[in-house]
Amino acid sequence: MTRRWTITSLLLLLIYVCSRSANAQTQIPEQTNTIDLEAALPEPRAYIPDSQYLDFVYHNHEELTRFLRATSARYPNLTALYSIGKSIQGRELWVLVVSSSPYEHMLGKPDVKYVGNIHGNEPVGRELLLHLIQYLVSSYETDQYVKWLLDNTRIHIMPSMNPDGYAVSKEGTCDGGQGRYNARGFDLNRNFPDYFKQNNKRGQPETDAVKDWISKIQFVLSGSLHGGALVASYPYDNTPNARICRSSALCAMFQTYSAAPSLTPDDDVFKHLSLVYAKNHAKMSRGVACKSATPAFENGITNGAAWYPLTGGMQDYQYVWYGCMEVTLEISCCKYPPAYELRKYWEDNQLSMIKFLAEAHRGVQGFVFDNNNNPIERASLKIKGRDVGFQTTKHGEFWRILLPGYYKLEVFAEGFAPREIEFVVVEQHPTLLNVTLTPSKRTEGSLPISQLYRPVPGPPPHLYRPPTPGYSGDSGLFSSITSGLNNLYSNLFG
């Protein structure tokens, strides 16, 4: 395809090149893939799955496994299948990588992911992720947008995080809790460590497997697919109750359900990511309520805590602990709609699912080296004024999704002098920024970086956090009532 360059595009490219040359400290290593400009690509084409390989029906765990294995065998150059663990009842927690480099990490190529079916009775996302897999692998040679995405991104797709819950769910059930929980009766999206409160719920095999998974792979962007509403919900999901109601557990119980946003330092980015999904969706951005008794959402997005607070959610955990930006995608008013409606859900979500993943290429990315050009692993980074940090991979790589603007990057690593680098982000072009750190001169009695920059207990010490909000914990009867109301609300609305 011949690319047409406008004067605006050339000016943006010139700004980008100037900012890159002004900030680069070393030469970027040779990369297998070069990121093309997304703006120069045609939109992804509409896609109709081949029913010979995947029809619009619900697939049980055995059928899901056969499809993933068959796809991996049929497309060995684009896919790699692995399991991150097993459910309580012994079902594999499958993940399929879809990329032009599925078996190995390529330098500068971000890892992104989708997770479906964390609530077993919300399986629309489970099926859409299977169709997304087929769409990507079968369109690679014919769709330029898909080819660009797979050449420059490693996409990890987990269709079902809760296969045991799905096994006892019932098709056609729009509300209720049957199948929502794992085989031990735990809500997996309330089972992660929490930034605002101590989560005393016993860790489950499924959540432990996910925690181990995301500790090993530096995910930049993630979407978790749910059902029961039509909205893109972004962090924080929880809120510091102490700031709302300090004196009474009963007051705190009722205040839990007030519409109080709990905003992250990256609120602008999370709103943007949510809008990317909602506006590319066939219906979500209209903000229409699923039922008369349920809320409507302006532009189809909401802050999680402003909708209803929850403790132990997956998206807050990934953001605070590992700097991964995850959005919860509620994609069906009915939790478990009849199978004949799945084609409609695919048509509604196809473009959103692709465009959302492409946002991993927005913002800043680069490498951190020592002065011998060796990569520095686990260097701590943060954008000044955005006190949730991230870190480098073993290859010294980093990524951060940011909107256009001027920023300062703060970089720390054990044994090195800290640095602060200014850079600019422009629309559509990721800013490539390489940083060289020099050895620090330690003075007797000085503390290591890991102790100097550990602001709160709990999360890993290598990451920055905003100061922990004050919290007056609930207890006893009122805590139980609050928990019960939270579960009821979740069962009804997502």
Q: Is 330 a catalytic residue?
A: yes
Catalytic site residue from 122, 206, 326, 330? 330
Residue 332 Cα distances to 60, 225, 275, angstroms: 20, 10, 17
119 in Cβ contact with 57 (< 8 Å): no
Residues with active-site annotation = 330
